[in-house]
Amino acid sequence: MPEIDACALDDIDEEDLLRFDHGERTYAIYRMEGEEVFCTDGLCTHEQVHLEDGLVMDYIVECPRHNGRFDIRTGEALGAPVCVNLGTYPARVESGRVFVELP
C-alpha cells in the first residue's frame, strides 16, 4: 500500500482526531500523547456516520450519533450499537508530518 503524507502532526490536538479524505474513501487519523498516531476508516460501521466529531478517550473513539465505541488501535467494535470492526491502517510521524498507508 502506498504511504501518503496526510497532514501535519500539529493539525491534530492530543487525544483528538482529524478527518482525512483520500480517493473515494474517508478516514480518521488520531493523535494520542506526543507522536503516537493511528488511522482507521472514517465512517462508523453502524450507520455510516463520520467519526470526525467523535470523542477520543483512552484509545477509544466514540461515534457522535449513537455513542458506538471502537478501539482505535485495532478497530475492534466494543459493543452495541456497533458490531462490525473498523478497518485500520499503519500510521507514523516523521519530521512533524503524519504518514498513513492506505489502499
Contacting residues toward other proteins, per CB under 8 A:
13, 16, 46-48, 53-55, 57, 62, 64-67, 69, 78, 80-81, 83
CA distances to 70, 93, 94, 95, 99 from 88, in Å:
11, 16, 19, 23, 14
Q: Measured from the CB of residue 66, what is the shortest distance to other proteins in angstroms?
A: 5
Distances (CA, A) of 75 to 11, 40, 69, 82: 22, 7, 9, 11
Least separation in angstroms between CB 103 and other proteins: 26
Which is closer to other proteins, CB of 33 or CB of 103? 33
